[in-house]
């Protein structure tokens, strides 16, 4: 009898732990359709820029990133860090109605285009505003949650329409 109670307690503990792990992994996974995931990525990157969080932006840049301005992932991340360092404040606006998402038929690549208004407070030199029509090429890339659980998330592999000095 005592053995049965111990076995039931151990099994209950294992099931409970498994449920907690599943919930934690599911909380990290992107939610909704691909279109919604991409829109949430833009929203999160917009917030990260306004908080001057380089890591909050960099997490969406693929290690395979390349663009027409000869930028690769390390150069782009450095340029973002340097750009942020020179600004006291950043205001990013991406009007929802300007976002156009085109997902490839295989569901593994996408193009997202949008209007971006960027307002910055330059250290001691006043404010500046830039308006850009941006285009991002995205790819679903494999990721691991807690180093064990596989998944896929959208990452930027190329961009156009931005100005490196903006």
What is the model's pLDDT at position 2? 82
Residue 54 sits in the same domain as residue 133: yes
Residues spanned by the domain of 14 = 1-30
Residue 8 inside a domain? The answer is yes
Residue 106 sits in the same domain as residue 43: yes
Residue 112 sits in the same domain as residue 152: yes
Total domains, the chain: 2
**Sequence-ordered alpha helix ranges (H) in the chain:** 2-28, 34-50, 54-58, 73-85
Residue 132 sits in the same domain as residue 56: yes
Residue 2 sits in the same domain as residue 43: no
pLDDT tens-digit profile of 59-103? 999 999 999 888 999 999 999 999 888 888 889 999 999 999 999
Nearest to 53 by CA among 85, 28, 76: 85
Residue 166 inside a domain? The answer is no
Residue 19 sits in the same domain as residue 79: no
Residue 146 inside a domain? The answer is yes
């Amino acid at each position: 009898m005592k053995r049965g109670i111990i076995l039931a307690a151990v099994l209950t503990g294992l099931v409970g732990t498994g449920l907690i792990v599943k919930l934690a992994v599911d909380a990290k996974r992107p939610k909704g359709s691909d279109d919604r995931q991409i829109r949430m990525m833009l929203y999160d990157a917009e917030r990260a820029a306004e908080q001057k969080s380089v890591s909050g932006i960099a997490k969406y840049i693929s290690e395979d990133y390349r663009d027409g301005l000869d930028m690769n992932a390390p150069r782009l991340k450095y340029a973002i860090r340097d750009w942020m360092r020179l600004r006291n404040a950043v205001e990013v606006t991406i009007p929802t109605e300007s976002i156009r998402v085109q997902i490839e038929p295989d569901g593994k690549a996408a193009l997202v285009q949008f209007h971006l208004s960027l307002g910055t407070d330059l250290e001691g030199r006043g404010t500046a505003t830039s308006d850009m029509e941006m285009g991002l090429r995205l790819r679903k890339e494999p990721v691991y949650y807690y180093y064990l659980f596989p998944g896929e998330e959208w990452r930027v592999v190329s961009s156009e329409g931005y100005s490196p000095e903006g």
